[in-house]
Every structure is written in C-alpha cells, then in structure tokens.
Amino acid sequence: MKKTLLTLLATAAMSATAFAADIKPAIIYDLGGKFDKSFNEAAFNGAEKFKTETGIEYRDFEIANDAQREQALRRFAGDGNNPIVMAGFSWSAALEKVAAEYPDTKFAIIDMVVDKPNVRSVVFKEEEGGWLAGILADRLGRVRVLQITIVWFSFFTFLSGFTNSFEQLLVTRALQGLGFGGEWAVGSVLIGEMIRAQHRGKAVGMVQSGWAVGWGLAAVTFAVVFSVLPEHIAWRAMFWLGVLPALLVFYIRRNVKDPEVFQATRARVKEAGGHFLDIFKPELLRVTLLGSLMTTGMMSGYYAVTIWVPTYLKTVRNLSVLNTGAYTFMIIVGSFIGYVVAAYLSDHLGRRKTFFLFAAGTAIVAVLYTLLPISDQAMLFLGFPLGFFLSGNFSGVGAFLTELFPSRVRGSGQGFVYNVGRGLGAFSPPLVGYLSTGVMSLASAIGMVTGLAFATVVLTVFFLPETRGKELAVYD
C-alpha cells in the first residue's frame, strides 16, 4: 500500500505547481535506483504519470552514494528546477541544508519532516492517533473506541481512492493515520485485559502476528490488482479495498464486550476520579519514561535495519535478490514465526528475558549482515532470521505495557509509550544517513545505531519489573 501511495504522492507533489509558467520539476531517487521494484520505482511511476497527464517533462537522477545527496539537490536547484521531489527518511539532513541555501525553490519530501518554509513535508498521523485513542478508551470503553478507530481507518482509506490532488490525498492519508495508530493502542489493551494472566503473552503476541499476515495479504493483493487493472485504476482499487476491515465492526458489536476489570475500574473512577495525565505523576513517571525509552530503542533499531540494511546490501554488496518476491516471502514468514515464538517465550521465560533474547539477536544479525560475505543465494534464506528477530521484539510489548500501567490509565499509558517510540524512532534512519556521510562507513553507521538502539532496550528493560503472571487489579 505504501508503494501505491508513493506513486500518487510523487505525481501530486510535482503537480502542485504544474500551472506555473516556469515549472521545471525534478525527482531524485534514493539509493538502489529507480527500478528497484520498491519505493524508488513507485516514485518513478508517479513521475511518469505526471508527465503523461500534463505533457511536462521532468528531470531525474539516481544517486550512487550518500555523498551525492547534497550535490544532486544543489545541482537541480542551481539549474532552476522547481519543484524538487524526494521520498524517504534519508533525505532530511541534506535537504535541511540545501533548502536554506535556495529559499525560492520548492522542495517536497515524503515520509519525513523538514521544517523549512519552502519544503512541503508529507507525514502521517499514526502517533497522535495512538495516544488519543488510548485516552478515549479509558473514558468511553475499549470496545466502543476500537470500533471507532476501525471505521475511521477504513473510511479514510476508502476515500483516498477518490482523491485527485496532492492536497486531497495529504488530508485523507493524515486522517487515515489517526485511525491506524489508534487500532493497536486500543486492541492491545482490550486483549490484554480479556485474557487470563498465564496466557496473556501468547494471546497478545498472536494478535501482533496479524501484522505479518496482513503484510503477506497486501503483497499478494498488490500483485493481483496491478496485473488485472490498468495502473491508473489499480492504485485507486488498492485504497478502495481498505474499506473491508469495517465489516469487522458488525462482529465486534454483537460478540465482544468490555472486560470486567475495565467495567469495574470505570465505575470506581467515577467515584474516586482519574485523569489521563496521571501517567506523568511521580508514582507512574518512572514507568512512563522507561517504557518510552524501551519502545524508542525498538523502533529505532527496527527502522535503521529495515531502511538501511537492504540499501547497503544492494549498493555496496551488489546483491539483487532483495527486490524479489521470494526474499519478501522469507521476511514475512520469519516475521510471523518470530511473533509467535516470542509470544510463547514471554509466558514461559518471562517478559524481560524474552526482550533480552530478541534484542541481542537483532543486533547480532544486523551487524553480521554488514560484515559477512553474503551471496544472493545465502541472502534469500537469511531473510528469515532478519524478520524473525526484528518482529519478535514487538510480540511481548502489548502484554508488558498492559501489566505495567494501572487499570485507570492503561489506555493512555500504553498509547503514549508505544507511539512516542514510533515518533522518536523515525529519527534513526536520518542519523544513519548523516553518520555515513563523511563520519564513518555505511556499515559502521548501521551497526552503531542498531547496537545503541537495542542496548537502550536492554538497559531500560533491566530497570523495569518482571510482570509475567500479574493479575490486573480494579482501578489500582
């Protein structure tokens, strides 16, 4: 879905000034080339769609290394190209400098924020939606807010398929993000409160494994839809299919009730009071801060590895298998099994030991990928452990946070901690890009950032209590 979105965003970003008399659009691809069968190719397809619809030619450039980022931006800006479009985290540092040097040139960056008046940053609102949904779940009920987030997400996904401009898609995608971020926060709390303590890790982890299942279904759907429909309809159809999750609401309304511990807690809150900002009171502040550091470490390592390891293996090691369906399949299978194994281990070994194990495994795998001589054939199978450890890190998070926060602010605490990690973790890929530009090699930068990220996980988990088997109390 994100590749489809990038296709349209690249088209729309270039079209935003299409009626200016002196428009000279340009697009700069990230490492890997414009035919990488991934995000670069999606951006290229968007640029081609723009050219077909407007008749306006555009310039493009494929960088070969990180040092060329600033050079390419300066060259295009100096030649009078306007607007200049790029996609991804890794452009932020270079764009921050060049945008200030060329204040009259319009730039657009997708999936990252650069705070300059001449830069249009396209970002999505999952983090804000996650905390907001958690707050509402503490006040209105787990089941009611889960239904709202599902319908919200489905509606704005469906509506995105009817957009015809950059501004329209930006609005619908941002609103979609609010629902997407909220679904995890509320769903994880709901499952954690419904299941008995001895099985909570398995249950919440199995729900988390649905991410891998959805990823696989999305990949298959993408291939089918784009093979049977013309491209100008196929991307819209992908968004229209996003309305299907709304059907789950009919089942939830008839069969799912708020957990007893929540119902009793809500009655107690009406008597004794409570506020979503209680997670910052002295008795909970330590848990809130340490939990936020833990999720920030997990997200930072996840983003650094998933963004930069494939780029490193393609551009430095010249491997080609990373763009194939077989490699994607191995990653997805590894992710699913990682979720499931970690879910069972969190109930068997405990939350903390499982986090230690998967954090260490992820750091080791990431470092080995950048040091060992790997062939295409070996890399195909090594996609499995990468998905296994990366995804397994998150399997126990929902149960752990459910047990760390008291019932009266569980939604607020869990929504805040998880989504702070998502927001702050997004800065790790630009950090890798910055460090690899003159400070150290790309391999060293990946290893250092990933190592520090998961060292943060280990350190913070060390100072948090073991919660396996904890019974959830009313109000507390």
What's the CA gap between 300 and 425, in Å, rounded? 4
Of 357, 362, 358, nearest to 305 (Cα)?
A: 362
pLDDT class for 104, splitting at 50, 70, 90? confident
Given this model, what pLDDT does residue 340 score? 93
Average pLDDT of the segment spanning 45-71:
77
What's the CA gap between 186 and 142, in Å, rounded? 6
Q: Write out pLDDT tens, residues 320-348.
A: 655 556 767 788 888 899 999 999 999 99
Given this model, what pLDDT does residue 17 score? 47
Given this model, what pLDDT does residue 2 score? 47
Of 68, 74, 72, nearest to 99 (Cα)?
A: 74
What's the CA gap between 362 and 380, in Å, rounded? 17
What DSSP string runs through 123-187? ---HHHHHHHHHHHHHHH-HHHHHHHHHHHHHHHHHHHTT--SHHHHHHHHHHHHHHHHHHHHHH
Sign for the CA dihedral angle at 49, 54, 56, 58 comes to negative
Q: Write out pLDDT tens, residues 210-224.
A: 888 887 888 788 878
Task: Name the token pair of 318.
Answer: 């010249």
What's the CA gap between 458 and 271, in Å, rounded? 39
Contact in structure between 45 and 231 (CB atoms under 8 Å) = yes
For residue 104, count CB atoms less than 10 angstroms from its CB and return exposed for 0-12, middle for 13-18, buried for 19 or more: exposed
Determine if the peptide bond prior to 117 is cis (ω within 30°).
no
Task: Name the token pair of 447.
Answer: 């290893």
Given this model, what pLDDT does residue 21 score? 46
Of 323, 429, 318, nearest to 36 (Cα)?
A: 323
Q: Write out pLDDT tens, residues 272-308.
A: 777 778 888 898 899 999 999 999 999 998 888 877 7
| Mean model confidence pLDDT for the chain | 80
Spatial CB neighbours of 232, under 8 Å, sequence gap ≥ 6? 49
pTM metric for this prediction: 0.75
Contact in structure between 60 and 26 (CB atoms under 8 Å) = yes
Given this model, what pLDDT does residue 114 score? 72
Average pLDDT of the segment spanning 133-155:
83
For residue 120, the SS3 value is strand
Q: What angle do CA 407, 409, 412 make, to 5 degrees?
A: 135
Cα of first residue to Cα of last residue in the chain, in angstroms, is 42
Of 291, 299, 274, 267, nearest to 405 (Cα)?
A: 291
Q: Which of 146-155, 218-227, 285-294, 392-401 has the lowest mean pLDDT?
A: 218-227
Given this model, what pLDDT does residue 167 score? 66
What's the CA gap between 88 and 86, in Å, rounded? 7
What's the CA gap between 240 and 229, in Å, rounded? 13
Higher pLDDT, 318 or 16: 318
Q: Is the pLDDT of residue 8 over 60?
A: no
What's the CA gap between 134 and 182, in Å, rounded? 7
pLDDT class for 22, splitting at 50, 70, 90? low
What's the CA gap between 468 and 474, in Å, rounded? 18
Most confident of 43-57, 94-108, 278-292, 367-381: 278-292
Contact in structure between 416 and 405 (CB atoms under 8 Å) = no
Element (DSSP H or E) covering residue 121: strand 119-122
For residue 422, the SS3 value is helix
